[in-house]
Structure 1
Amino acid sequence: MNKHKLGFIRGRLRSVKFALNGVKLLITTEDSIKTQVFFAILITIIGFYFSISINEWMFQIIAIALVLVAEALNTAIEKLADFIHPDYDEKIGFIKDIAAGAPAFAALFSMIIGSIIYLPKIITLF
């Protein structure tokens, strides 16, 4: 393998290392991510209990990923805004509120997806 390809591979491995460290930091330090991971695990267990279909799994996994990605990006934006301007600022507050809207949208649509998947199954239990 030539030196250029080895450098490319090392660069990608370093990128993966940084990404995994970011996931670790999110899960160990951010309450919102901890909460979302808890719900992701819970809904995954419920998915196994109800033996949801492959298509339902795909939608559920996409919904979980959407919420986690939105939470992660919101956290990054909030941390960056606090770093740039640690004191209260109306414009920074506006930006942070908009960023907080992303995980709210993601959670709302994830609940709709969950309702479409699980409400018919729950109704048949009664």
Structure 2
Amino acid sequence: MNTDLKDRSSFWRSFTFAFRGIYHGFTTEKNLRFHFAASIVVIIFGIALNLRLVEWLFVIICIFGVISLELINTAIERIVDLVSPTYHPLAKQAKDVAAAAVLCFSFMAIIIGCLIFIPKIINIIRLYLG
């Protein structure tokens, strides 16, 4: 019984650590703040344009995917800085490849966003123009 309480306690503590990680990333990483702000704008537009469930699923996957990869990128940068405090070409490559992962997923998110939002915006423009 005692181990059950200990397991539950460590389970809930892991959430505390995770939220600290999000907070740290948000307060120290400009790109993460940009992604959060962009996510809020996308959510507002999604509500205003009355997205369907399937569209919301893609939007949510894109939002959380980009933010998650940005957090992983931040973690990789911290580890590389710890292990290699001076410049090393492999350290640079590790950081560049981690940043490239975020960039690739961000491009995918932009393409998906365009596929979802542009037709809706065009329909609204057509309604008002004629």
Structure 2 unaligned segments of length 5 or more: list them.
Answer: 126-130
Q: Which residue of structure 2 lines up, in the alignment, with residue 34 of structure 1?
A: 33
Q: Which residue of structure 2 lines up, in the alignment, with residue 63 of structure 1?
A: 62
Q: Distance in 2 between matches of 1:79 and 1:21?
A: 15
Q: Give structure 1 regions of 4+ aligned residues with deviation exceeding 2 angstroms.
A: none
Q: Which residue of structure 1 lines up, in the alignment, with residue 80 of structure 2?
A: 81
| Residue 120 (1) aligns with residue 119 (2) | yes
Q: Distance in 1 between matches of 2:77 and 2:22?
A: 16
Structure 1 unaligned segments of length 5 or more: list them.
Answer: none
- Please report how far the alpha carbon of residue 95 of structure 1 lies from its aligned counterpart in structure 2 after TM superposition: 1.1
Q: What CA deviation, in whole Å up to 9, does each residue of 1:31-52 have, x standing for no partner?
A: 1100000000010000011011
Q: Distance in 2 between matches of 1:17 and 1:121?
A: 40
Q: In the alignment, residue 54 of structure 2 is paired with which amino acid? A: N
State the percentage of identical aligned residues: 33
TM-score by length of 2: 0.93
Q: Which residue of structure 1 lines up, in the alignment, with residue 42 of structure 2?
A: 43
Q: What CA deviation, in whole Å up to 9, does each residue of 1:58-81 have, x standing for no partner?
A: 110000011001100011101110
**RMSD of aligned C-alpha atoms?**
0.8
Q: What CA deviation, in whole Å up to 9, does each residue of 1:76-114 have, x standing for no partner?
A: 101110111111111111111111111001100001110
Q: Which residue of structure 2 lines up, in the alignment, with residue 96 of structure 1?
A: 95
State the aligned residue count.
125
